[in-house]
Amino acid sequence: MSIQPILKKRLRRILVNMVHCTEFQAVVLAGGKGSRMTELTAGRPKCLLPIGNMPMIFYPLRLLERSGFHEAIVVVSESAKYDVAAAVDKLDLEIKLDFVGIPGGEDLGTADSIRLINEKIHVDFVVISCDLITEIDIADILNSYRKHNASITALIVPAPKVPDDFVTPGPKSKQKPETDLIGIDNETGRLVFLASASDFEETINLSRKLLKKHTSFTIHSKWMDAHLYVINKWVLDFLVFNKSFSTLKGELLPYIVAKQLSRPPRQSADDKNTSIVRLDTKEDIYRFAVEKPLDTLIRKMSAFNDHNTDLEEAYHGDVIRCYAHIVTGKFGLRTNTIQMYALANSDLSRSTNSEWWNTLTEGKISVPEISASATVKSTQVENCRIDENAFIDEKTSVKQNHIGPNVVIEPKTRISQSVIMGNVTIKQRCVITNCILCNGCVIQEGSEIKDCLVGAQHIVVADSRHCREVLTDVDRLMEI
């Protein structure tokens, strides 16, 4: 008789554990093809590009792990699913990962990807892009999200400053960096305006309502949206319902930010029988943005107000609330262009003991500078990371490089400030400065290349000289 209640209790506990009782879920978007850095990504998923000899995806995953996430959903393209899973397995992370493949061929946007996995998300969630390299503690962002019970909280970091002496490998690009225009209320930290500078031609129109509601706000042009969002569950429901959004940053977020200014439709009580039909068919965000009764009660009873000059209620009575969480003074960038990719690598190679690397890994993950299985005969090795089975012959000089697995460097070669991916062969008497050599390429005898990109499997012929070029097979680029 007495066993039954105990059993019941246990059963209940098991059930509680089975049902998702976490507060936040995490989604890592790693399905990107690297459209802004096609020279590098030909033939391999962007999220596996090495940064400091770790695949790019390591950084966001470690970030999540460090903030206490036990599980995460990783969205990758179906074709790369096994590669990524295998690569991540090697990283020895504790976080439990659920890889979801996006059916190949379809070029899905970030919002589309989220929509695809909506059935796996049951609570508010964090979306993080695989190219975010940072040491920022996500817990702070979550706190700022909780504080205002936001709809979306976005992480805003200063746009990374490129040092004057830094030269991006490859030809001088005329590609202007994207500028985000981010408007933040000075008093409340509300995200009130979000757009890309390229959306405008000469003038920006601000609505009177925005000016009236937020009497003092600042629009920043030197900050960027880091593509780390904490998103309320109802936004996901809205996203699933409204299929017209395909990206988060470009479409959904600006839409929701703008929607903060609108008011929920008034419920007209008199014509019940006629209006119900309409409301259901209307694609209205306020069908989803509904304050929970308990929250309403709390808000009504609380004396808290986020602004003080007028007599409006807290948050102006808005249910849709977007906030910016600003972090300055920490390392943070998105490696979605060659420049940023090179910058991240060079930052790590300048000193082997980078501060942010230590914060991120908390010393738990120590990457040996020189892998045990590597053979290094050279006497001039300085600030390098050398991966498994690399072979560096004698009479070579390697300084501030990342050298991938199975790389062969033959004698009388000098290499500095470069990223050398896996299976690269560099023959004798080469001089390589500030280059990115993609996997499998071969540099033949006596070549001197400076500030160049060498595409995957490309063969640089002997005794050639190149400066600020992209060296790759033409048809390979065409493929993309």
Partner 1 sequence: MSKITKKDVNSKLGKKDVLQAVVLADDFTTNLTPVQNVYPSILMPVVNVPLLDYLIETLVQSRIQELYLYCSSHIESLKKYVQSKNSDDISINLIISDGCRSLGDALRDIDTKGAIRGDFILIRGDAFTNANLKNLLELHRVRIEKDKGAAMTLLLRDVGSTNIPSLIEESSLVVADGSNNKVLFYKKLAKDEKKVKLELEWFLDHDKIEINTGLLDTHIYLCSPAVPPLFSDNFDFQTMEDFIRGVLMNEEILDSRIYWQRLDSEEYALPVTSWRAYHMLSREILQRHSYPLTPDTLSFVRNFTYLSRSTYRHRNAVLARGCVIQRDSIVGPNSMLGKDTFITRSTIGNNCIVGANVQIENSYILSNVFITDNCMIKNSIIFSNCQLDKKVNLDACILSPSVHLKSNSSYVDSVLEYESGKLNVTKISELNLDTDKELLYFTCKESKDGKDCDGYSTDSEDSSSEDDSAPASPLPDDTNMFLSEVIDSLLRGYQDGLNCENLILEINSSRYAYNVSIREVSYNVIKAILSLPLHYLSDQKSPINQANYQSTLKKMISYFFTIIQNYIKTEDAQDDCLKAMEEAATTIQELLSFMQRLLHLFYERDILSEEKILEWYELNGDNENEVQSLEIKKAVGPFIKWLKEAEEDSSDNEED
The single-letter DSSP state of residue 171 is: S
Question: CA 205, CA 199: separation in Å to the nearest integer?
Answer: 11
Residue 333 CA to residue 336 CA, distance in Å, equals 9
Min dist CB 280 to partner 1, Å, is: 12
Comparison of 173 and 216: residue with beta carbon closer to partner 1? 216
Nearer to partner 1 by Cβ, of 79 and 221: the residue is 221
Q: How far is the CB of 221 from partner 1 (least distance, A)?
A: 5
DSSP state of 277: H
CB of 268 to partner 1, least distance (A): 6
| Among candidate residues 262, 253, 173, the one with its CA nearest the CA of residue 213 | 262
Nearer to partner 1, 211 or 298 (CB): 211
Separation of alpha carbons 165 and 401, rounded Å: 17
Helix 58-66 vs helix 138-148: crossing angle, to nearest 10:
60
Select 310 or 369, whichever has its Cβ closest to partner 1: 310
The answer to whether residues 401 and 415 touch, using CB atoms and an 8 Å cutoff, is yes
Task: For the CB of residue 9, give the shortest distance to partner 1 in the complex, in Å.
Answer: 49
At 81, which helix (H) or strand (E)? helix 81-89
Contacts of 411 (CB under 8 A, 6+ apart): 393, 394, 395, 396, 428
Are 399 and 417 within 8 A, CB to CB?
A: yes
**Contact set with partner 1 (CB under 8 A):** 179, 181, 183, 186, 197, 200-209, 211-222, 255, 258-259, 261-266, 268, 271, 273-275, 277-278, 282-285, 307-312
Closer residue to partner 1 (CB): 175 or 262: 262
State the Cα–Cα distance between residues 116 and 359, nearest whole angstrom: 34
- Please tell me the distance from the alpha carbon of residue 415 to that of residue 84, in angstroms, as a whole number: 29
Residue 368, amino acid? P
What are the φ/ψ torsions at residue 336 (nearest 5 degrees)?
Answer: -110, 5
For tokens 């703008």, the residue is 258
Q: How far is the CB of 15 from partner 1 (least distance, A)?
A: 40
Q: Name the residue type at position 80.
A: A
Q: How far is the CB of 237 from partner 1 (least distance, A)?
A: 16
User: Cβ closer to partner 1: 273 or 379?
Assistant: 273
* Angstrom distance (rounded) from CA 425 to CA 390: 10
Minimum CB–partner distance for residue 266 and partner 1 (Å): 5
Alpha-helical regions (H) of 311-397: 338-350, 355-361
CB of 197 to partner 1, least distance (A): 6
Residue placing its CB nearer to partner 1 in the complex, 83 or 187? 187
The position carrying tokens 């959903």 is 73
Closer Cβ to partner 1, 17 or 273, answer by number = 273
User: Between residues 284 and 448, which has the closer beta carbon with respect to partner 1?
Assistant: 284
CB of 151 vs partner 1, minimal distance in Å: 16
